[in-house]
Amino acid sequence: NAYSVKSNNHLTDVIDASSGSGSGLLLLVKRTIAKQIQMEKLVGKGRYGEVWLANWKGENVAVKVFVTTEEASWFRETEIYRSVLMRHENILAFIAADIKGTGMWTQMLLITEYHELGSLHDYLKTTAVDPSALLTLAFSAASGLSHLHTEIFGTQGKQAIAHRDIKSKNILVKRNRECAIADFGLAVRYKSETNEIDIAANTRVGTRRYMAPEVLDESIDTKLFDAFKSADMYSMGLVFWEMCRRCATTRGSDKWNMQAEDYALPYHDVVPSDPSFEDMYEVVCIRKLRPVIPPRWNENEVLRTLSNLMQECWHQNPAARLTSLRVKKSLCKLKGDTGIKII
Ligand code: ADP
Ligand code: MG
Ligand code: MG
């Protein structure tokens, strides 16, 4: 079960059949997955490397290629995906991890399922949804986060995991229009039995625009695991706001007169692009601003419910925020009340 990375000059396998979130696609991988992959199209590029659509044994897969300096991030993300009981329909499905090349040319790969609709950010930019589709997006995102946050007891138990970089670019949209949470490079795990967080959790990591007030002002108690879950909830509240803007509703009785707000990033109207800590601190901690809720949202039950939920997620006081399970349950109830089917 150990990582045999760098144990020889060639490629080395990093997964085995018996542990972690073994994949349906692949059970036992011995060496050179990297050699069997044909890269096809670049689909994402960030500080940590690139994400490619690739073909592997006739299947479309996503391959995240980490730059050499991001070895720690690759290692961490792989480790998180290999956690027991990580597999869930609203969490990006891990397939394999591998190392490609030798010496100077080493590349670290993370292979996952590929989702052609891309990130929620990209999806919302080009697509307006109806209230039923909005509910599916929000409920599935809450379900994924709730699974992540929940510790499951028992012999094959699951550790609680906090994501620490929740944002619309780190959530993918599946073909059935449900969300899958991705990008676990900053996640932390926790076991209540030992009351320990598995890595020294440095503060102020993640994406500044989505950072909770207690992360920005560094008042977060990093010894308490719940603090990281609360910070995730703040960020998820902002993501709900991004979703709601793109939900089209009819105006008055004219069913052809649909309206929605344009896509926007949270705080687009009060901070510059790539905001600094100081920019965000000023807005979120000092002025205590939050995204504006348009009056339109009060006229539809799904939008109205989500407006209330998001405000309870981005509360200044972390202890007053809703939990992911609470959000999931409220949205499940809404589905029952409105007769909207969540597929
Ligand atoms: P980083 O750690 O560099 O931010 P991510 O894992 O967040 O990398 O991926 C970067 C981007 O690549 C995402 O925002 C998304 O647009 C795209 N992407 C990542 N994984 C997939 C996937 N499995 N299917 C489709 N697109 C993906
Ligand atoms: Mg990312
Ligand atoms: Mg990342």
**For 281-298, what is each residue's pLDDT tens digit?**
999 999 999 999 999 999
pLDDT digits (tens, 9 = 90+) for 56-85: 989 999 999 998 888 889 999 999 999 999
Q: What is the spatial distance between Cα 50 and Cα 63, in angstroms, rounded to a whole number?
A: 8
Instruction: Give the Å distance between the CA of 166 and the centre of ligand 2.
Output: 9
Instruction: Residue 214: name the closest of 192, 198, 197, 229 by CA.
Output: 229
Asked if 181 and 145 touch (Cβ cutoff 8 Å), the reply is yes
Residues with CB under 5 A from ligand 2 (ion): 170, 183
Phi, psi of 41 (to 5 degrees): -150, 135
Task: Name residues whose C-beta falls within 8 Å of residue 245's C-beta, 6 or more positions apart in sequence.
Answer: 124, 260, 261, 262, 263, 264, 294
Contact 115 CB / ligand 1 (< 6 Å):
yes
Q: For the chain, count helices (H), then strands (E).
A: 8, 12
Residue 23, pLDDT above cutoff 60: no
Q: What is the spatial distance between Cα 216 and Cα 327, in angstroms, rounded to a whole number?
A: 24
Q: Which residues are known to be catalytic?
A: 165
**What pLDDT, on a 0 to 100 scale, did the predictor assign at position 161?**
98
Q: What is the spatial distance between Cα 60 and Cα 37, in angstroms, rounded to a whole number?
A: 10
Task: Return the CA Rg of the chain.
Answer: 20
Asked if 88 and 80 touch (Cβ cutoff 8 Å), the reply is no
Q: What is the spatial distance between Cα 153 and Cα 159, in angstroms, rounded to a whole number?
A: 8
Helix H or strand E encompassing 227:
helix 225-245
What's the burial of 206, exposed, middle or buried (CB within 10 Å: 0-12/13-18/19+)?
A: buried
Residue 103, pLDDT above cutoff 80: no
**What pLDDT, on a 0 to 100 scale, did the predictor assign at position 342?**
58
Residue 27, pLDDT above cutoff 50: no
Instruction: Give the Å distance between the CA of 181 and the centre of ligand 2.
Output: 10
| Cβ neighbours around 187 below 10 Å, total | 24
Task: Name residues whose C-beta falls within 8 Å of residue 67's C-beta, 6 or more positions apart in sequence.
Answer: 48, 49
- Per-residue pLDDT band for 343 (boundaries 50, 70, 90) equals low
**What pLDDT, on a 0 to 100 scale, did the predictor assign at position 106?**
80
**What pLDDT, on a 0 to 100 scale, did the predictor assign at position 339?**
75
Asked if 234 and 166 touch (Cβ cutoff 8 Å), the reply is no
Residues with CB under 5 A from ligand 3 (ion): 183, 185
**What pLDDT, on a 0 to 100 scale, did the predictor assign at position 254?**
80
Measured CA to CA in angstroms, residue 203 lies from 129, 165, 195, 223, 270 at distances of 36, 12, 19, 11, 24
Predicted ipTM beyond 0.85? yes
**Substitution site in 81, 119, 171 for ligand 1 pocket (most atoms within 8 Å of beta carbon):** 119
Measured CA to CA in angstroms, residue 230 lies from 108, 196, 215, 324 at distances of 32, 17, 11, 9
Q: What percent of the chain is modeled with pLDDT above 70?
A: 89
Residue 318, pLDDT above cutoff 80: yes
pLDDT digits (tens, 9 = 90+) for 239-254: 999 999 999 999 877 8
Contact 161 CB / ligand 1 (< 6 Å):
no
Residue 32, pLDDT above cutoff 80: no
Q: What length is written for the chain?
A: 343
User: Which amino acid is located at 261 in the chain?
Assistant: E
Instruction: Give the Å distance between the CA of 64 and the centre of ligand 2.
Output: 10
- Per-residue pLDDT band for 338 (boundaries 50, 70, 90) equals confident
Mean pLDDT, residues 150-159: 92
Residue 9, both tokens: 């000059």
Whole-number average pLDDT of the chain:
89
Residue 103, both tokens: 């010496």
Contact 48 CB / ligand 1 (< 6 Å):
yes
- Per-residue pLDDT band for 203 (boundaries 50, 70, 90) equals confident
